[in-house]
Amino acid sequence: MLTPIEIENVSFKSGRGYSKKEVDAFLNTVHHDYEALYKENRELKDKLNTLSDGVQYYKNIEKTLQKALVLAEKTSTEIKEAAVRQAEAIEKEAYLKANTILADAKHELNRIQNQIIALIQNFDQCKAQIKQITMAQMELLESESFSVKVSSFDLEPSFVIKNDVLSEKEETKEPEEMEQEIMQQDTIQQDKTQQDKTQEDKTQEEEEREMLMKLFQSIEENSKQKQTDNSKNTAEQDFEFLNMD
């Protein structure tokens, strides 16, 4: 394309042809018009280049956004997969812990049941021993060594004194009176023996009752202690499980 300067420097030969003034005037007009078009064309080219740079900038932004979107989708997928894997691992670990706690609880239950059975057996043994001792005492009380005989009475001091004082009169007593006195002494001795036996039975019964109460208290204390230990162990396991999560 010709520049305005090239058009302005065009020269024509003078002759009989065109009028020089007209040609110069026309050239001036063409020069001004072309110069305006040339400037406008340059401005449009500059704007086009500017717009092209802007379009390229936005195209680069579009590419960056597309890459970021692809990366975000990929990251989102990876995060979801990691979350699913972590959830599965947590669920598996919780299941294993639950099975372990359940197994420990069953083992502890069996141990407590065995301990209760042993305590019951000990209680039965103690009861059998007490019964055996009681039967032995009963047999001892019913034996000949505890039988009351008139000849074995230990007379009281007052009776001995009276006996010494009245020894001379015994020969004059009737057999019936002597028999009555012997029966009275026998009755007194039997009453005394019965009272001693009743007191001994009460004392033995109180001892047995005290022994049974101690045994029941021991069983109850052991049961409470086991419940406390189980509660502490469960709380510690739950706390450890929460810390691990």
pLDDT tens digits, residue range 130-154? 988 888 888 887 877 666 554 544 4
Cα separation, 180 vs 183, in Å, equals 5
Cα separation, 88 vs 98, in Å, equals 15
Amino acid 153: pLDDT? 46
Amino acid 20: pLDDT? 74
Cα separation, 188 vs 153, in Å, equals 10
Amino acid 103: pLDDT? 94
Amino acid 149: pLDDT? 57
Output the six-digit token pair for 64: 């960056």
- Residue ranges in the chain modelled with pLDDT below 50: 150, 152-162, 164-166, 168-171, 173, 241-242, 245
**For the chain, domain boundaries:** 4-82
Strands, E assignment, the chain? none
Amino acid 14: pLDDT? 62
Cα separation, 104 vs 172, in Å, equals 92
Amino acid 112: pLDDT? 93
Residues composing the chain: 245
Amino acid 55: pLDDT? 87
| Residue 237, SS3 per DSSP | helix
Would you say 34 and 6 are in contact if contact means Cβ atoms under 8 Å apart? Answer: no
| pTM for the structure as a whole | 0.32
